[in-house]
């Protein structure tokens, strides 16, 4: 939260945001299931200007073996940003931020995946951020769920994710990069709509208790919209024209 609001109009007098959206309007979201021939499952997502590719491999043997668990399977997640994915070239070495986001996404996916069905094995999720514009962890989590389903990994539900937030003292849905940098709060939410369970919630910024409740409500409604698009992506691949 950069507090640079004074120099930037994040919400105009007609309630329109810096990219032309209404307060409760998500960015354009396009999800495609499949696409990577060498992966067991894959997905590609465009979430506004975010472009992210996910490949899933497994369940497969764990190397080194001592990392495996005799009682359950393990999920390993790598979130990686291409150096060219952001305006100022990112150092190709893994950053603390990428390590943290990998962990956050892994923990948000774990409640959804029936790892107990695959003792001693690992399911690997590789996330490649090709272009970033705020909200990559939500877009990546959304695509990773579709890629896991595409790989045929048994799941309790898919996790759909989107951020709620606050700009100009107003709660908004789906925070873009400018709003993240100059706005007042950013709250990424991951939610399993069929099970009605939240698996990811973070908050950067300050909210009143009322704003907090509104963000959760708006975020969960947003996740339901994202969920419909996840199901559509899988339907299109498995029951559609079959060209992916
Ligand atoms: O992407 P997300 O909102 O989940 O994570 P963040 O750490 O809050 O980053 C917000 C945005 O900052 C990213 O989506 C990128 O657009 C941008 N960013 C960047 O420009 N350079 C970086 N090295 C990292 C992030």
Query: According to DSSP H, which parts of 43-176 are helical?
Result: 96-109, 136-150
Which helix or strand (DSSP H or E) is residue 227 part of? helix 209-239
CB atoms within 10 A of CB 126: 19
Closest approach atom of ligand 1 to CA 50: 14
Compute, in angstroms, the gap from residue 72 CA to the centroid of ligand 1. 33
Compute, in angstroms, the gap from residue 98 CA to the centroid of ligand 1. 10
**Quick one: pLDDT at residue 243?**
58
CA 208 vs CA 23, 129, 205, 212: distances in Å: 18, 33, 10, 6
Tell me how far apart the alpha carbons of residues 109 and 220 are, in angstroms, rounded to a whole number: 16
Cα-Cα-Cα-Cα dihedral of 232, 35, 97, 120, to 10°?
Answer: 90
Which tens digits make up the pLDDT trace of 71-94? 999 999 999 999 999 999 999 999
The verdict on the CB of residue 134 being under 6 Å from ligand 1 is: yes
Compute, in angstroms, the gap from residue 120 CA to the centroid of ligand 1. 35
The tokens describing 119, both together, are: 């003792």
Evaluate whether 70 touches 109 at the Cβ level (below 8 Å): no
**Quick one: pLDDT at residue 163?**
98
* 145 Cβ contact partners less than 8 Å away, ≥ 6 residues apart: 109, 112, 155, 158, 159, 160, 230
Q: Can you give the pTM of this predicted structure?
A: 0.96
Compute, in angstroms, the gap from residue 61 CA to the centroid of ligand 1. 33
Tell me how far apart the alpha carbons of residues 80 and 64 are, in angstroms, rounded to a whole number: 22
**Quick one: pLDDT at residue 4?**
47
Rounded to the nearest 10 degrees, the angle between the axes of helix 136-150 and helix 96-109 is 50
Of 86, 127, 187, the residue with max ligand 1 atoms within 8 A of its CB, to mutate for a pocket test, comes to 86
Cα-Cα end-to-end distance for the chain = 40
- CB neighbour burial string for 198-234, b if at least 16 within 10 angstroms, e if fewer: bbbeebebebeeebbebbbebbbebbeebbebbbebb
**Quick one: pLDDT at residue 182?**
94
Domains and CATH numbers, the chain: 3-238 (3.30.230.70)
Residue 155 has pLDDT above 90, yes or no: yes
Bridge partners of 79, per DSSP, are 127
DSSP state letters, 160-177: EEEEEEEETTEEEES--H
**Quick one: pLDDT at residue 217?**
98
Helix (H, G, I), strand (E, B) or coil at 109: helix
Tell me how far apart the alpha carbons of residues 189 and 165 are, in angstroms, rounded to a whole number: 10
In the chain, the percentage of residues whose pLDDT exceeds 90 is 93
**Quick one: pLDDT at residue 5?**
45
Higher per-residue pLDDT: 64 or 29: 29
C-alpha closest to that of 235 among 156, 149, 160, 170: 149
Helix (H, G, I), strand (E, B) or coil at 87: coil
C-alpha closest to that of 143 among 36, 233, 45, 28: 45
The verdict on the CB of residue 177 being under 6 Å from ligand 1 is: yes
């Amino acid at each position: 939260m950069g507090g640079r609001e004074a120099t930037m109009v994040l919400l105009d007098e007609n309630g329109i945001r810096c990219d032309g959206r209404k307060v409760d309007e998500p960015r354009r979201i396009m999800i495609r299931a499949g696409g990577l021939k060498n992966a067991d499952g894959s997905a590609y997502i465009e979430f506004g200007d975010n472009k992210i590719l996910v490949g899933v491999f497994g369940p497969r043997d764990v190397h080194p073996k001592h990392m495996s668990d005799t009682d359950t399977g393990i999920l390993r997640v790598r979130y990686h940003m291409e150096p060219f994915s952001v305006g100022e070239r990112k150092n190709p070495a893994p950053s603390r931020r990428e390590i943290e986001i990998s962990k956050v996404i892994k923990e948000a996916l774990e409640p959804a995946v029936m790892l107990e069905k695959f003792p001693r094995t690992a399911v690997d999720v590789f996330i490649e951020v090709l272009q970033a514009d705020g909200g990559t962890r939500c877009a990546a989590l959304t695509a990773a769920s579709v890629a896991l389903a595409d790989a045929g990994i048994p799941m309790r539900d898919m996790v759909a994710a989107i951020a709620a937030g606050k700009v100009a003292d107003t709660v908004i849905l789906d925070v873009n990069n400018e709003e993240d940098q100059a706005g007042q709060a950013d709250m990424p939410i991951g939610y399993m709509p069929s099970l009605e369970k939240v698996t990811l919630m973070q908050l950067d910024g300050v909210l009143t208790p009322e704003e907090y409740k509104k963000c959760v409500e708006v975020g969960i409604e947003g996740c339901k919209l994202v969920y419909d698009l996840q199901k559509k992506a899988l339907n299109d691949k498995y029951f559609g024209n079959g060209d992916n």
